[in-house]
Amino acid sequence: MEVTRELNIEIERHYASSGLGDRLLRALALAGKDVENLSPLDLAPMDEFHIRGRQATMELASAAGLTAGMEVLDVGCGIGGPSRCLAAEFGCRVTGVDLSAEYCAAATLLAERVGLAGRVSYCHGDALDLPFGEGSFDLVWSQHASMNIPDKKRLYGEMYRVLRPGGCVALYDVLAGPGGEVIFPVPWARTARTSFLANPAELEEVLLASGFTIESWLDDTERATEWFARLAGRIADNGLPPLGIHLLLGEDFPTMAGNQRRNLEDVRILLARVVARR
């Protein structure tokens, strides 16, 4: 238990710093946005904290068959970009849970600024001990969260537990590839101490063992590689943009982006979009 607590502290330290919400609002203002009248699209460049951004979110939502009125749990919700997208575009009611209290506070602030506070909510919590009853949600959503979680059996077991019968889990995650060890730092970890990647076979095995039936599995590595190559190229040519996920990760983000590009090109990591049903 002590090891888990120390790991969680280290992971939370990687992602968050104090005053994040205020810093994001200042960055939005400097980018010419009206911070008193924001839309989810205004926030998209910085709050879709995963490869391929808003496009990947919309594709995953389509694959999972989201419809209005669904109760959705976003595990590893970050500062809330996907949850606000699902609420605004599909009419879902979304609850986000994240290990970073600072991210949850920023997510709540931004939801209020875009007028979605009544349709999204956020809580500070651990994906291995979700603070919800059995069968609470129609869909469990997770993008780029499992890489920091070593206990995959418990992670997907918890997702299964909180789903209603017939509900599904929608995943968009980084997996271990055959090309060798990951080069650090990367956006989800500065060292191997907080990185826990499953390979595709391991993910399939744990999902089936948890009770899920896999409905679809897309290898998105090629498009992810192209996307990150374009991102790394823009940073190399023009520097960091006014808005982007670098606002969440700090000054070493260009190094992370370069490493991520190489990890993808070397097939050290893979990208998978998976939909599975309880």
Give start and end residues of each alpha helix (H) in the chain.
2-15, 20-30, 40-47, 53-64, 81-90, 101-113, 152-162, 200-210, 221-238, 246-249, 253-265
Q: One-letter amino acid identity for 190?
A: R
What does the pLDDT read at residue 79?
94
Cα 80 from chain centre: 9
In what order do the strands lie in the sheet containing 269-277?
A: 120-124, 93-98, 71-75, 137-143, 163-176, 269-277, 213-219
Q: What is the mean pLDDT of the chain?
A: 92
Query: At residue 253, does pLDDT exceed 50?
Result: yes
Rounded to whole angstroms, how far apart are CA atoms 180 and 259?
A: 13
Rounded to whole angstroms, how far apart are CA atoms 176 and 135?
A: 31
What does the pLDDT read at residue 229?
83
pTM over 0.85: yes
84-96 pLDDT, tens digit per residue, is 999 999 999 999 9
The structural domains of the chain, with segments of one domain joined by +, span: 2-174+195-221+271-277
2-174+195-221+271-277 in CATH: which number?
3.40.50.150
- The two most distant CA atoms of the chain are separated, in Å, by 50
Ordered DSSP codes for 192-219: GGG--PPPHHHHHHHHHHHT-EEEEEEE
With contact defined as beta carbons under 8 Å apart, do 138 and 86 qualify?
A: no
Rounded to whole angstroms, how far apart are CA atoms 257 and 46?
A: 14
Q: One-letter amino acid identity for 123?
A: C
Give start and end residues of each alpha helix (H) in 20-151.
20-30, 40-47, 53-64, 81-90, 101-113
Rounded to whole angstroms, how far apart are CA atoms 267 and 180?
A: 8
159-198 pLDDT, tens digit per residue, is 999 999 999 999 999 999 999 999 999 999 999 999 999 9
